[in-house]
């Protein structure tokens, strides 16, 4: 049987919200050329598996070096917060590291913490004068957050932010596998029923 989470062809969907483009892309976030890419980090900021490992491998040691300095100065990064470092060797100039919640059944404030992870990352990008940022599906891998619920939080939080902020011009969601891409597409259509997709 075909694994529904298997990587498939790269497809893309995009909408305009206010002055910004919101797009859904299937692929590897480490190759994104936006001003920043967001890392689904863990509180220790010392790298890990999944997208975190991929970003550090592709970006080289300068990212971890800066994470270590932040960690020494301010300690562990709690869930829902975000910090910014260099992008090292990546095409993106910066990496925004945020920590999503570990799924515990949904009654431990996970939705609020996940919304905060997106909001704090978007705010950090805007505060640093960045125009474009790419997100992975935070918390939906090792942290076990159900993809549909996570997509709802990710997209609604971003739509709300772009409705109020004029400086960001592009937010891309880079979904690694076809299942996650499909769920994000369905949820975005549901949240923005009157929106014409430009692709
Ligand atoms: P978390 O610990 O927040 O759950 P993971 O890295 O385990 O973070 O997974 C988050 C999401 O990132 C998952 O959908 C996973 O498939 C995806 N992912 C893994 N590697 C990449 C990559 N190189 N680019 C984009 N997304 C990725």
**Around 150, how many Cα atoms within 13 Å sit in the side-chain half-sphere?**
24
Task: Out of 141, 142, 146, 154, give the residue to mutate to test ligand 1, the one with the largest number of ligand atoms within 8 Å of its CB.
Answer: 141
What pTM was estimated for this model as a whole?
Answer: 0.94
Task: Out of 50, 59, 77, 172, give the residue to mutate to test ligand 1, the one with the largest number of ligand atoms within 8 Å of its CB.
Answer: 50
Please list the active-site residues: 52
Q: What is the DSSP string of 162-179?
A: HHH-SS--EEEEEESSHH
What whole-number distance in Å separates Cα of residue 122 and Cα of residue 96?
A: 9
Q: Render each residue's pLDDT in the chain as its tens digit; 199 residues.
A: 334 454 545 668 899 998 899 999 999 999 999 999 999 999 999 999 999 999 999 999 999 999 999 999 999 999 999 999 999 999 999 999 999 999 999 999 999 999 999 999 999 999 999 999 999 999 999 999 999 999 999 999 999 999 999 999 999 999 999 999 999 999 999 999 876 665 5
Q: Show me where the domains of the chain are located.
A: 15-191
- Rounded (10°) CA dihedral 194, 176, 166, 99: 120
Ligand 1 binding site (Cβ under 6 Å of any ligand atom): 28-30, 40, 50-52, 54, 100, 136-143, 174, 176-177, 180
Considering the segment(s) 15-191 as one domain, its CATH architecture is 3-Layer(aba) Sandwich (3.40)
User: For residue 194, how far is its CA from the centre of ligand 1 (angstroms)?
Assistant: 30
Element (H or E) spanning 39, and its range? strand 36-41
- Decide: 128 and 94 in contact? Cβ < 8 Å: yes
């Amino acid at each position: 049987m075909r694994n529904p989470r298997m990587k498939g062809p790269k497809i893309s969907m995009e909408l305009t919200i206010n002055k910004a483009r919101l797009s859904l892309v299937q692929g590897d976030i480490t190759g994104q050329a936006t001003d920043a890419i967001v890392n689904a980090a863990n509180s220790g900021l010392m790298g890990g598996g999944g997208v975190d490992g991929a970003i550090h491998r592709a970006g080289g040691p300068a990212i971890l070096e800066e994470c270590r300095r932040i960690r020494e100065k301010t300690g562990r990064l709690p869930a829902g917060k975000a910090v910014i470092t260099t992008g090292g060797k990546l095409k993106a100039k910066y990496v925004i590291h945020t920590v999503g919640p570990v799924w515990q059944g949904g009654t431990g404030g996970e939705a609020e913490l996940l919304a905060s992870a997106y909001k704090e990352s978007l705010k950090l990008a805007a505060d640093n004068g960045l125009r474009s940022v790419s997100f992975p599906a935070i918390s939906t891998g090792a942290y076990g957050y159900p993809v549909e619920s996570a997509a709802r939080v990710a997209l609604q939080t971003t739509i709300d932010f772009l409705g109020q902020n004029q400086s960001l011009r592009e937010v891309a969601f880079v979904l690694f596998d076809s299942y996650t891409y499909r769920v994000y597409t369905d949820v975005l259509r549901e949240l923005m029923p009157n929106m014409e997709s430009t692709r």
